[in-house]
Amino acid sequence: MTDDRPEPLIRARGLDKSYRRGSETIHVLRGLDLDVEAGDFVAFMGPSGSGKTTLLNLLGGLDSPTAGTVTVAGTNLAGLSRRQLAAWRARHVGFVFQLYNLIPVLTAFQNVEVPLLLTTLARAERKKRVRIALGIVGLQDRMRHYPRQLSGGQEQRVAIARAIVTHPAVLLCDEPTGDLDRASADAVLDLIGVLVSEHATTVLMVTHDPRAAERAHTVLHLDKGGLIDSNGDRWREGRP
């Protein structure tokens, strides 16, 4: 019997990640499997040190596994050189962090434009994309403001605009609401929800906040180097 389901956008198989600390080997991930469909919204939870950010970095090509494979949109990341991987990330992945990482001497507009400066887009097309991205996050009227002139919630929305301006296949969010008050956090989560529902963005989010995780389609918990679903079962989504 054939399986007619489309290939997942992200497929991880047998992911291991370990580090050496003196004479000791620290195992963070052990044989982890994961499928993520295009347009899905997945939240990863777990205690500090459980490997959530490590997993996010592996799926986004910021780090390499000790063993196992990560395939995104048909590309096996292990088959790319360091330069090819950097170019691949620039085209396909947007990153949003707890600390917004905005450049303080640049305006909101200029901060959002930074990723496009690494492309071959003409200046007019860059400007158009920046305005569209800032429009999506509702900051058209703040594009000439510097980070110090923005609230924390506004800074995070600029960071999201910067992450989506390249039209990435995947948006990786590492504690995107961790530094925000409740109202600002809810506004950012509303925006992420719009990106998923109206723009078909695939979102992977690490969070400690149960209210943030509730927004996701799927919530997975990191435990002993593997993934546990909401029923407490070991997560092994994959096809034989």
Phi first, then psi, for residue 84 (nearest 5°) are -65, -35
* pLDDT confidence bin for 232, thresholds 50/70/90: low
Position 50 scores a pLDDT of 87
pLDDT digits (tens, 9 = 90+) for 55-79: 999 999 999 999 999 999 899 999 8
Q: What superfamily would CATH give domain 38-61+79-226?
A: P-loop containing nucleotide triphosphate hydrolases (3.40.50.300)
Q: Residue 177 gets which letter from DSSP?
A: T
Provide the CB-side half-sphere exposure for 81 (13 A, CA).
2
Contact (Cβ atoms closer than 8 angstroms) between residue 78 and residue 69:
yes
From 11, 3, 40, 69, select the one nearest 238 (Cα to Cα).
11
pLDDT at residue 100 is higher than 70: yes
Q: What is residue 213's predicted lDDT score, i.e. its pLDDT?
A: 94
Q: What is the 3-state secondary structure (H, E, C) of 127-157?
A: HHHHHHHHHHCCCHHHCCCCHHHCCHHHHHH
Where in the chain are the domains?
Answer: 38-61+79-226
Q: 101: which 2 tokens?
A: 């990482």
* The pLDDT of residue 144: 97
Torsion sign (Cα): 150, 156, 160, 162: positive
Query: Span 37-51, mean pLDDT?
Result: 92
pLDDT of 147 reads 96
Q: Considering only 31-45, 183-197, 223-237, which range has the smallest mean pLDDT?
A: 223-237
Q: What would the mean pLDDT of 41-50 be, rounded to a whole number?
A: 91
Strands 41-45 and 202-206, bridge-based pairing: parallel
Q: Is the pLDDT of residue 240 over 50?
A: no
Q: Which of 67, 47, 45 is nearest to 235 (CA)?
A: 45
How high is the pLDDT of residue 239?
37
Which residues in the chain belong to E strands, given as ranges?
Answer: 10-21, 24-36, 41-45, 67-72, 75-76, 93-97, 170-174, 202-206, 218-223, 226-228
Across residues 84-89, what is the average pLDDT? 89
Query: Which residue has 């918990």 as its token pair?
Result: 221
Give the closest residue to 114 by CA, choosing from 58, 177, 158.
158
Round to whole Å and give the CA distance between 107 and 194.
25
145-204 pLDDT, tens digit each: 999 999 999 999 999 999 999 999 899 999 999 888 999 999 999 999 999 999 899 999
CA distance 38 to 7: 9
